[in-house]
């Protein structure tokens, strides 16, 4: 009896030492296993989402005033918004794929038979989920408003490149509100057109139609942005709405000056939309207007990053709960959980907007629900 | 079907389904939250919002099919490699075509399915979604354009513009018809309240004719006037849609007609080629996926394969878009600009296949 105690203590110590060593090894192993699929998933999703938007940006590429660099800048500015969606998905998929693999290779069984419970794998899962949450948090609070503002002005300057949109042959162009242009033949290099028909419905009382043999299109950007159509040898006809008054004017040369600021709104933005405000600005706007939507946006900025945490934590049990041959079910269910999270969020958002629930409740509810799902799944996987 | 083919295809379609589900899911979520503010601001009915996204799903899935095919081939083969099944098949004397071929053929089938589904279902539903957005969610008057709200039509010698065109009753409201000479000088302008299809020709009601002859303008009102317009109501089915929204065969006919009238048809020809070329993306990415998958050893390496695959995919998609925009701006011939990336990456896929351990 007397001899037994020290030997027991020694045994205890050696087990503890072994566990500490093994714990650290296991932790690193699990981390790396999740990190690879998570980063692949993140990059893959970003790539898919960006190429989806590439189409709309590339149409400006051939405009004279737009360079490839401009396109790259616009794409980079669109990244923070897209990253906010890609990060939770990456957190979820990285973890679920890692655990599906561990379970498929019987490594989970090996660990359990070595006396490691499922709960002891939590630190590794938590570390990755927290790291992604931190990145997401920084993106949401800092990068997003700035990038959205920059993106807005960058896109505006791109969309003001009206001339390339106008220089199309044989089709009715309605880029500018309340006007339709038709050019029979277009020489894009010299910005000249032959066979011009312009329908001007800016004044609802008269229908003005200008036809001309040829025209030169120029952009004037000093002072206020203008597009000038210098037309030659044509006619202008007006017809009143009552079809009783009419006018025909023939001309040798006629300059139609279109102010882009008047047509497309001025390039100088005085007020930002909610997605372009910082947290402090949202609070100020809320205090001034008492508009619920500012409160909802403020909470969304803080709550959305936690999607990485709750979804990442819920993903691990999905990887191990399903037996051989039904592993894909775990992956499918985790994607379904991702969709359910956002479905709940939009429901909470709508309820908050209708003032049926407090703004904070509506926005934080999906996090709470997913967290409780994650907890019950962990308990279930631990007892398995 | 051979047992082996069925077995390989089962792996392929499992991963394909999940990848498409994940891709479609995140795409809808992003799209939804981008538009949520608009939907709430305009106080649109929830049903309309749901319908809008339901209409968009086929078009979104069509975009995801190529990438899902890449992942399905890479992961499907990767799993077979990891389970030493490929090794067993090779030991049994089977060549790569026997176990990887079905995946390539499945990708080819998906090309046809994508193209057909896109042309029949995707395009019309996308149009429905856009209309629904305009009418029910934006609730704004439709701007000038090709829409039924503001019809523009032109033929060799006249232009026609109307406030509305009702295809069911074949009636234009608020019509202006401009007759021009080849110098684009106005010869006659006719404005009428209505233009009606009567049996076999058009009749204008309650309007005026403004004619310009020898430096003099004449203004003349009328109650009824029969018009000899070379225009049949069935032509208007085409005129009512934007060219981008036309079915492939209709757009092909429209492009030929425009070409015959001496107009520049480059944008439409690019569109025609692009629709086929993007459908082929599934085959090309499937081929690249299979070839990379053959290179994977049984000791995992799926992650590396996916990283490489995604890198190649990104390069391919960007090149495809750039080629198309070069073709549009006539820097390159249409067919070359659109098909060059396809040719290049098909060659890369084939080279990877040939060099893979068979």
pLDDT, tens only, B150-179: 677 777 778 888 877 776 678 888 888 988
A115 touches chain B (CB under 8 A): no
- pLDDT one digit per residue (tens) for chain A, 384 residues: 455 555 555 545 554 555 566 678 888 899 998 999 999 999 988 888 888 777 666 666 655 556 778 778 888 888 898 899 899 999 999 999 999 888 888 888 898 898 888 888 888 999 999 999 999 999 998 898 888 888 877 777 766 666 767 777 777 777 677 788 888 888 877 788 888 999 888 887 888 889 999 999 887 766 566 788 899 998 898 888 777 888 888 899 999 888 776 666 655 555 667 778 888 888 888 888 878 888 888 999 999 999 999 999 999 999 888 877 777 888 889 999 999 999 899 888 888 888 888 888 989 999 999 999 999 999 988 887
Confidence of residue B109 (pLDDT cuts 50, 70, 90): very high
Which neighbouring-strand residues pair with B177? Answer: B160, B190
For chain B, positions 198-237, list CB contacts with chain A under 8 A: 206-208, 210, 212, 215, 217, 219, 221
Query: Distance between CA atoms of A70 and A62, rounded to whole angstroms?
Result: 12
For chain B, positions 161-200, list CB contacts with chain A under 8 A: 161, 176, 178, 180, 183-186, 189, 191-193
Q: How far is CA A135 from the centre of its chain?
A: 15
Nearest to A55 among B146, B263, B321 (CB): B321
pLDDT recorded at residue B160: 86
Three-state DSSP state, A200 = strand
pTM of structure: 0.75
A42, A170, A231, A329, best to mutate vs chain B, most B CBs in 10 Å? A170
Contact B202, B211 (CB under 8 A): no
pLDDT recorded at residue A158: 67
8 Å CB contact of A89 and B191: no
DSSP secondary-structure letter at A276? Answer: G
Helix H or strand E encompassing A49: helix A4-58
pLDDT recorded at residue B145: 35
pLDDT recorded at residue A136: 94
Confidence of residue B288 (pLDDT cuts 50, 70, 90): very high
For chain B, positions 123-152, list CB contacts with chain A under 8 A: 143-146, 152
A235 touches chain B (CB under 8 A): yes
Q: Measured between beta carbons, which residues in chain A are less than 8 angstroms from residue B152? A: 172, 180, 182
Helices (H), A105-178: 107-113, 122-138, 144-159, 162-166
- φ and ψ at residue A266, rounded to 5 degrees: -70, 155
Nearest to B161 among A49, A89, A199 (CB): A199
Q: Using CA coordinates, name the residue in chain A closest to B328.
A: A62
Neighbouring CB atoms inside 10 A of A52's CB total 17
Contact B307, B128 (CB under 8 A): no
B19, B26, B285, best to mutate vs chain A, most A CBs in 10 Å? B26
Of A235, A179, A191, which Cα lies nearest the Cα of A215? A191
8 Å CB contact of B221 and A244: yes
Q: Measured between beta carbons, which residues in chain A are less than 8 angstroms from residue B212? A: 235, 248
Tell me the range of A298-307, B48-57, B80-89, B140-149 where mean pLDDT is highest. Answer: A298-307
Query: Distance between CA atoms of B222 and A378, rounded to whole angstroms?
Result: 83
pLDDT recorded at residue B73: 93
Terminal-to-terminal C-alpha distance of chain B? 22
A375 touches chain B (CB under 8 A): no
A241 touches chain B (CB under 8 A): no
DSSP secondary-structure letter at A187? Answer: E
Query: Distance between CA atoms of A244 and A153, rounded to whole angstroms?
Result: 46
Confidence of residue B215 (pLDDT cuts 50, 70, 90): confident
Query: Distance between CA atoms of B197 and B171, rounded to whole angstroms?
Result: 6
Q: Using CA coordinates, name the residue in chain B closest to A248.
A: B217
Tell me the range of A261-270, A275-284, B108-117, B230-239 where mean pLDDT is highest. Answer: B108-117
Q: Check pLDDT > 80 for residue B310.
A: yes
Of B167, B224, B233, B168, which Cα lies nearest the Cα of B200? B233
8 Å CB contact of B318 and A331: no
A1 touches chain B (CB under 8 A): no
């Amino acid at each position: 009896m007397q001899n037994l105690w020290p030997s027991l203590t020694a045994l205890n110590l050696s087990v503890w030492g072994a566990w500490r060593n093994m714990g650290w090894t296991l932790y690193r192993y699990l981390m790396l296993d999740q990190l690879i699929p998570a980063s692949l998933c993140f990059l893959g999703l970003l790539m898919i989402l960006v190429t989806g938007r590439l189409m709309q940006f590339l149409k400006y590429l051939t405009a004279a005033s737009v360079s490839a660099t401009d396109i790259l800048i616009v794409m980079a500015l669109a990244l923070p918004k897209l990253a906010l969606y890609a990060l939770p998905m990456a957190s979820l998929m990285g973890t679920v794929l890692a655990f599906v693999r561990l379970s498929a290779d019987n490594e989970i069984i090996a660990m359990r038979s070595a006396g490691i419970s499922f709960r002891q794998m939590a630190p590794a899962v938590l570390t990755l989920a927290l790291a992604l949450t931190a990145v997401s948090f920084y993106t949401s609070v800092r990068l997003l408003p700035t990038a959205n503002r920059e993106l807005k002005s960058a896109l505006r300057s791109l969309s003001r490149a009206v001339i390339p949109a106008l220089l199309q042959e044989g089709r009715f162009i309605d880029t500018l509100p309340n006007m339709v242009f038709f050019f029979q033949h277009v020489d894009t290099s010299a910005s000249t057109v032959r066979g011009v028909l312009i329908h001007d419905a800016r004044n609802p009382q008269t229908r003005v139609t200008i036809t001309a043999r040829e025209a030169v299109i120029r952009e004037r950007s000093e002072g206020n942005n203008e597009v000038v159509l210098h037309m030659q040898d044509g006619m202008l006809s007006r017809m009143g709405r009552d079809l009783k008054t009419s006018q025909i004017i023939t001309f040798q040369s006629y300059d139609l000056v279109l102010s882009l600021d008047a047509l497309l709104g001025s390039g100088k933005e005085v007020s930002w939309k909610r997605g372009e405000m910082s947290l402090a600005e949202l609070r100020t706007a809320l205090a001034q207007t008492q508009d619920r939507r500012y409160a909802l946006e403020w909470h969304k900025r803080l709550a959305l990053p936690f999607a990485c945490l709750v979804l990442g934590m819920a993903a691990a049990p999905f990887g191990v709960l399903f037996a051989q041959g039904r592993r894909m079910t775990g992956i499918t269910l985790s994607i379904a959980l991702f969709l359910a999270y956002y479905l709940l969020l939009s429901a909470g958002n709508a309820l908050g907007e209708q003032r049926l629930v407090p703004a904070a409740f509506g926005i934080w509810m999906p996090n709470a629900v997913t967290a409780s799902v994650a907890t019950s799944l962990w308990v279930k996987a631990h007892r398995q | 079907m051979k047992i082996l083919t069925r077995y390989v295809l089962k792996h392929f379609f499992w991963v394909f389904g999940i990848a498409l589900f994940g891709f479609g899911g995140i795409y809808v979520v992003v799209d939804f939250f981008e538009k949520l503010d608009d939907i709430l601001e305009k106080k649109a009915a929830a049903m309309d919002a749901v319908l809008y996204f339901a209409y968009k799903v086929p078009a979104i899935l069509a975009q995801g099919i190529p990438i899902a095919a890449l992942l399905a081939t890479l992961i499907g083969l990767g799993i077979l490699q990891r389970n030493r099944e490929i090794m067993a098949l090779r030991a049994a004397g089977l060549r790569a075509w026997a176990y990887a071929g079905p995946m390539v053929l499945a990708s080819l089938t998906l090309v046809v399915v994508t193209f057909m589904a896109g042309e029949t279902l995707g395009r019309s539903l996308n149009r429905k979604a856009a209309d629904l957005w305009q009418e029910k969610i934006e609730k704004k008057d439709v701007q000038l354009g090709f829409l039924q709200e503001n019809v523009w039509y032109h033929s060799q010698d006249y232009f026609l513009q109307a406030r509305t065109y009702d295809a069911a009753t074949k009636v234009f409201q608020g019509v202006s018809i401009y007759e021009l000479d080849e110098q684009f000088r106005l010869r006659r302008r006719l404005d009428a309240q209505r233009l009606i299809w009567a049996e076999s020709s058009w009749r204008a009601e309650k309007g005026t004719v403004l004619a310009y002859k020898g430096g003099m303008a004449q203004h003349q009102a009328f109650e009824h006037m029969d018009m000899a317009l070379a225009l049949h109501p069935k032509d208007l089915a085409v005129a009512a849609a934007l060219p981008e929204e036309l079915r492939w065969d209709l757009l092909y006919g429209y492009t030929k007609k425009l070409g015959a009238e001496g107009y520049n048809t480059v944008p439409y020809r690019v569109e025609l080629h692009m629709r086929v070329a993007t459908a082929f993306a599934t085959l090309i990415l499937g081929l690249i996926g299979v070839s990379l998958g053959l290179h994977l050893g049984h000791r995992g390496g799926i992650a590396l394969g996916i990283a490489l695959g995604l890198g190649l995919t990104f390069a391919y998609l960007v090149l495809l878009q750039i080629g198309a925009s070069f073709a549009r701006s006539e820097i390159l011939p249409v067919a070359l600009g659109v098909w060059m990336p396809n040719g290049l990456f098909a060659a890369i896929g084939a080279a990877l296949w040939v060099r893979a351990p068979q």
